[in-house]
Amino acid sequence: MRQDSEITSESLARNPIAGFDPDRIAGLQANRSAIERRAASLPARRSVKGTAQAGWLLRAITMIDLTTLSGDDTPGRVRRLCAKARRPLRDDLRAALGMSETPLQTGAVCVYHEMVPHAVQALAGSNIPVAAVSTGFPAGLSPLKLRIAEIRDSVAAGASEIDIVISRRHALTSDWERLYDELCQFREACGPAHMKAILATGELGSLRRVAQASHVAMMAGTDFIKTSTGKEAVNATLPVSLVMTRAIRDHFERTGYRVGYKPAGGISKAKDALSYLVLIKEELGPHWLTPELFRFGASSLLGDIERQLDHHISGAYSAAHLHPMG
């Protein structure tokens, strides 16, 4: 699936912690009407069809953080999800697509801290990373020392990616330096594990604040910026994604470091995934179309992609229950 010229995790330099720059934050603006017009044009630009579309959907599978974040999660559910991450397509579909001998797996499995050991065990022998949500997910309102300890505990348990949540109150009161200081502590606690900063964009109130929070997180050394916990009333949207990807592009132009992007929450249809891939290709370029720099935070998305690939092969839509997550 991956071209030789593309970035790999071994060649990608991590975004380091940099000094806080208040002038950079203060100077940011966001033209909502222009952003919304540009975002509205993206689905219409989704022109890939037939075999090309199937290829894009196969690539999308490799960029999914297959996720379960429910109060009734059990070790058995996590093990089944991990089995799906290892073999995301039915064997008959892989054979029909000529993929029987080609490695295909999801980008990661994302779980609560308590489920990390079960996921690590279930994924042993694969190179699929385990991502843990942390820092008092989803609200981020537990005491700071407990949030930092939670990160360290998840890393010790085997998580190689940590999805932290920002303190929205710092963003809403424009206390950017305090947010930066907090994120720096999270980044240091992550150690070798990659940090994905969840901005909870649906609760930030404006696109300008989304841009500001994105830049603060990148100054603090985050490896990814992520839209949502999936628990907010409004999660990933194309306008928010446009703002965040342009912040990533600006950060790269300023520093030379590539930061990843993860839209999460509400992306459940293959056609929507294609719109996000178009956005990434047009705004950031093909280097970002790898699991090292782009992820979908989703679970049901994989089922719909599998169903669309089944339609590509057979010409008929199959029932959703034929494409279970576990």
Task: Report the half-sphere exposure of 298 (CA within 13 A, side-chain side).
Answer: 26
Coil, helix or strand for 55? helix
Q: What is the pLDDT of residue 12?
A: 84
pLDDT of residue 50: 85
Q: What is the mean pLDDT of residues 236-258?
A: 98
pLDDT digits (tens, 9 = 90+) for 68-87: 999 999 999 999 999 999 99
Q: What is the CA radius of gyration of the chain?
A: 19
Residue type, position 325, single letter: M
pLDDT tens across 113-145, in order?
A: 999 999 999 999 999 999 999 999 999 999 999
What is the residue extent of each domain of the chain?
22-313
- pLDDT given for residue 44 in this prediction: 78
Query: What would you measure as the largest C-alpha separation in the chain, in angstroms?
Result: 56
Specify whether 84 is catalytic.
no
For 251, list phi and psi in degrees, rounded to 5.
-60, -40
Q: CB pairs under 8 A, 24+ apart, for 71-74? A: 73/111, 73/112, 73/114, 73/115
Secondary structure of residue 60 in the 3-state scheme: helix
What is the C-alpha separation between 247 and 241, in angstroms, rounded?
Answer: 10
Of 262, 272, 304, 310, the active-site residue reads: 262
Is the pLDDT at 34 greater than 90? The verdict is yes
Catalytic pick among 65, 84, 163, 304: 163
Q: What is the pLDDT of residues 273-320, one digit of tens each?
A: 999 999 999 999 999 999 999 999 988 999 999 999 999 999 887 777
Asked if residue 7 has pLDDT above 60, the reply is: no
* Model confidence, pTM: 0.94
Residue 256 reports pLDDT greater than 60: yes
Known active-site residue 196:
no
Q: What is the mean pLDDT of residues 138-166?
A: 98
Torsion-angle region of residue 16: left (phi > 0), alpha (psi -120 to 50) or beta?
beta
Q: How many residues in total does the chain contain? A: 326
The 3-state secondary structure of 123-176 reads CCCCCCCEEEECCCCCCCCCCHHHHHHHHHHHHHCCCCEEEEECCHHHHHCCCH
197: nearest Cα among 213, 178, 173, 177: 213
C-alpha torsion angle, residues 135, 78, 260, 197 (rounded to 10): -10
Residue 46 has pLDDT above 70, yes or no: no
Whole-number Å distance between alpha carbons of 228 and 44: 25
More confident residue, 47 or 230: 230
Residues 6+ apart with CB under 8 A from 284: 245, 248, 249, 261, 293
Which pLDDT score is estimated for 275? 94
Question: Would you say residue 175 has pLDDT above 80?
Answer: yes
Which is higher by pLDDT, 47 or 200? 200
Q: Compute how many other C-beta atoms are within 10 angstroms of the C-beta atom of residue 2.
A: 14
Q: Is the pLDDT of residue 191 over 80?
A: yes
For residue 20, the model assigns a pLDDT of 98
Catalytic residue among 226, 272, 304, 310: 226
CATH fold of the domain at 22-313: TIM Barrel (3.20.20)
